[in-house]
Amino acid sequence: MAARQGSPASLPDLAAEVQVATGAIRAEVEAACLVSGGQFLGARRARLVMAADDAHRSALAGSMAELRGHVARLSSLTSAVWVIQRALAGNDAGEASLMAS
């Protein structure tokens, strides 16, 4: 999506590209939530889904300024989810090693 900023694209193509990209991000986060669980991660996932939907709507409407803002929000939320997921995975590993000893 970022590579297209300088080149013209039809709105349906842009919307389809946003939908595919945000769908992939949503699927990865959904899988992380299933593995790690936790209400906190679930709340972040809900925010990420809203940001993905907002980005797709902005692309459909052709609002590039809004799209950039939603993509930036989506990027921040995605990063936050991965940080939390890694922290939860680290805690699980630490607990498992304590139980084994």
* Integer angstrom CA distances of residue 70 from 61, 62, 74, 83, 93: 13, 13, 6, 20, 34
Copy the structure tokens of residue 43.
Answer: 């709340």
Mean local confidence (pLDDT), 76-87: 83
- Cβ neighbors of 29 (< 8 A, separation 6 or more) are 44, 45, 48, 78, 81
> Which of 1-15, 20-34, 43-57 has the highest mean predicted lDDT (pLDDT)?
43-57
Q: Domain segments of the chain: what residues?
A: 11-100
Predicted local confidence at residue 83, as pLDDT: 83
Residues 36-72 pLDDT 10s: 666 667 788 888 889 999 999 999 898 899 999 999 9
Q: What's the gap between Cα 44 and its chain centre?
A: 9
Predicted local confidence at residue 95, as pLDDT: 43
pTM: 0.67
The whole-angstrom separation of Cα 70 and Cα 23 is: 14
User: Which conformational region is residue 9 in: left (phi greater than 0), alpha (psi within -120 to 50 degrees), or beta?
Assistant: beta
